Amino acid sequence: MPRPSKRGLAAIIGSIAAAGVLALTPAFEGTVLTTYRDQGGVLTYCTGATEDAQWGRTYTPEQCKAQLDRDLARHAEGMMACIHAPMADGQKIAYTDVTYNIGVAAFCGSSMARRTNAGDAAGGCDALLMWDKIGGTAVRGLTRRRAAEREICLRGLN
């Protein structure tokens, strides 16, 4: 499990990208103040948080906001550690959101990261579309999320 980030999201990916992620991620995750099982069966709470989830707990909106801030920073830091090519803000937004959704290890081992590091920025963005399945079955919400991430990712590329 990645260690907690000591830096804030804006310090990791920049203020423009941080603002974009803080708008995008909650829009797709939603916020639930109690623990629940997500579509993949993972115990989840607040705005898609899974770390230290405990069944039956209730959270305040303030606790959920603080958890999201910590989680996004941790996932952005992990994503940035495995991308060695320069990135536009749109890539940072999309890749932070997908990393939050699939995890740092999955992102760093993905064709998104490989293509981006190889200098194929558009190909890295296109590879987002492959991550719309749970258990091998495409999920409509993930398909919509990946299409939105891809559109954002492609912004600002030459």
> 34: phi > 0 → left, psi -120 to 50 → alpha, else beta; which?
beta
Could you give the CA distance from residue 130 to residue 24 in angstroms, rounded to a whole number? 19
Residues annotated catalytic, as ranges = 29, 38
Within its chain, how far is the Cα of 96 from the centroid? 4
Could you give the CA distance from residue 29 to residue 46 in angstroms, rounded to a whole number? 9
